[in-house]
Homo-oligomer: A and B are copies of this chain.
Amino acid sequence: MTATATPTTSLDDLLLWFELSQLQERYVATLDQDRLEDWPPLFTEDARYEIVPAENADAGLPIGVIFCDSRGMMEDRVVSLRNANIYEAHAYRHALSGLIIERIDADTAKMRSSYIVVQTRQNGESFVYQAGRYEDEVVRTADGWRYRSKRAIYDTSRVQTLLATPI
């Protein structure tokens, strides 16, 4: 960036930020309100979703807690979670920050952000369940922006791996 001109904020940047930020808010609201059935529709048909520990992601070993490479697999997971008796009821509350958008072209972008998830289990205790970063690829579809890829890469190692719920 040269120092000869003040960078001006284009209305385009603002609108792109707003649209993608709204997608993030919907994502969080869907999970925090336990509307799991509304979670797969936030992705494209062939989208990839995974939850992976930071040490694996950084070493290029994509072996994680959840791996889905289609919306159908996400829908199956939701059905499994709803049917599982060993699924302990809990509430998630997300906090997001540090959203950085990299525009690829008019209909494609990459995003990075930090997340903190607080969980409350049936005993009523609230605690930091997981912290990490999202790395997302998003695409503009006829229905608005959708995730084509979303990776939740967690710092924490105390993470539930059996019947994990989306983060």
Contacts and interface: CB of A to CB of B under 8 A. Distances in A.
Given A93-B155, A120-B155, A155-B120, A1 B143 contact: yes
A43 to B, nearest CB: 15
Report the contact-size class of chain A (Cβ under 8 Å from the partner). 35 or more
A130 B16 CA distance: 32
A98 B94 contact: yes
Interface stretch (A28-36, A63-71, A76-84): A28-36
Contact of A93 (B3, B93, B116): B116
B3 A9 contact: no
Interface string A135-149: 000001111100000
Contacts of A133: 32-33, 93
Contact of A14 (B18, B97, B131): B18
Contact of A112 (B6, B29, B125, B157): B29
Contacts of A156: 120, 124-126
A118 B142 CA distance: 38
28 contacts: A3-B142, A4-B142, A6-B141, A6-B142, A7-B144, A9-B15, A14-B15, A17-B22, A25-B99, A25-B100, A26-B100, A32-B97, A32-B98, A32-B114, A32-B133, A33-B98, A33-B133, A91-B131, A91-B132, A93-B132, A93-B155, A94-B114, A95-B96, A95-B114, A118-B128, A126-B128, A126-B156, A126-B158
